Amino acid sequence: FGRFGGLSSDCGTYSILGGAPYTTSFQTIGSMYSAFYLTDRYNNSIIYLTPEYNGFQGSFMYSNGRDSDENKWSYNQHYYGAGLTYGNGPLNVDLIYEALDYKGEADKNKTTQLLNLGASYNFGAFTLYGAYEYAMHAPLPGFVTFQKDEDDLDGKALDNKYNNGKANNYHAFALSASTNALGGEVMLQSQFAFGKNKNASEAGLEDKFNTLSIGAAYFYHFSKRTLMYTQAAWGTAGKALKHNTDDLRGWNATIGMTHTF
């Protein structure tokens, strides 16, 4: 009971998201966030994990009010999640269904529904990862935004059209690999998504869109408690996601170190 991450959030103890070597650790471009819509941490949550049987385990999660529980049940925004994982030797698989309703909101947004499938297989010399998501009535993937600053009224209007109401239906894919090299772990990752905005015809906007990103990361363990990491990535978005003359292209690079006490 309490506040913790949803099944596909990659946050906290109970997330079962798989299918990529460094998933969401680098949030903007080089991870699954650039093509997938992934859930967050939610208040007022209950989770039940089944006993493990022959490598299979089920997860069931519910939130009575994702942000607060001040309203009646019918006016709170709820989370529903169910997932199944399988792990046996070199193979790991996860299947997740999630739903987010928007009760109490004036915009009467459609319920977001997400279906995620992830898998990885360790061949010894390297591990291969793959993931797929079907998102229905979902906001756009994480790194796509039309709002540049607080005064960008056009950006705010476009964000509203593409992320509220009926929102978007889209397919997202990720393919990646990791291997031990250069004294540490090297990871290569790619994500792609394509879909259609469900508000576009009413708003007079182009409806189809796509995103693509590629990234690489290197982890080096100085000891069991000290890790150095570095990452770089590039991403772009096209069709309906080109705002005026902007290409919505971007890149990022990260270097850091963690020490566990």
pLDDT in tens, the chain (261 residues): 999 999 999 888 999 999 998 766 666 677 888 899 999 999 999 999 999 999 999 999 999 988 877 777 778 899 999 999 999 999 999 999 999 998 877 667 899 999 999 999 999 999 999 999 999 999 988 767 676 677 777 778 777 888 888 899 999 999 999 999 989 999 999 999 999 988 877 666 788 999 999 999 999 999 999 999 999 999 888 887 776 556 678 888 989 999 999
pLDDT of residue 246: 60
What is the DSSP-derived secondary structure letter of residue 53? B
pLDDT of residue 66: 87
pLDDT of residue 106: 61
> What is the number of residues in the chain?
261
Query: Scanning the structure block, which residue is given the tokens 């909101």?
Result: 105
pLDDT of residue 185: 95
pLDDT of residue 240: 78
Residue type, 79: Y
Cβ neighbours of residue 52 closer than 8 Å, sequence gap 6 or more: none
Pair 199, 167: CB distance under 8 Å: yes
Half-sphere exposure of 236 (CA within 13 A, CB side): 4
Query: Scanning the structure block, which residue is given the tokens 């080089």?
Result: 30
CATH class of 2-259: mainly beta
pLDDT of residue 28: 65
pLDDT of residue 239: 83
Residue 258 phi, psi (nearest 5):
-125, 145
Distance of CA 168 to the CA centre of its chain: 15
Cβ neighbours of residue 232 closer than 8 Å, sequence gap 6 or more: 30, 215, 216, 217, 251, 252, 253, 254
Spatial distance between the Cα atoms of 37 and 20, rounded to a whole number of angstroms: 15
Query: Scanning the structure block, which residue is given the tokens 């690489």?
Result: 216
Q: What's the count of helices (H) and strands (E) in the chain, helices before strands?
A: 2, 12
Query: Scanning the structure block, which residue is given the tokens 């680098």?
Result: 26
Tokens of 139: 């906001």
Which residues lie across from 183 on neighbouring strands? Answer: none
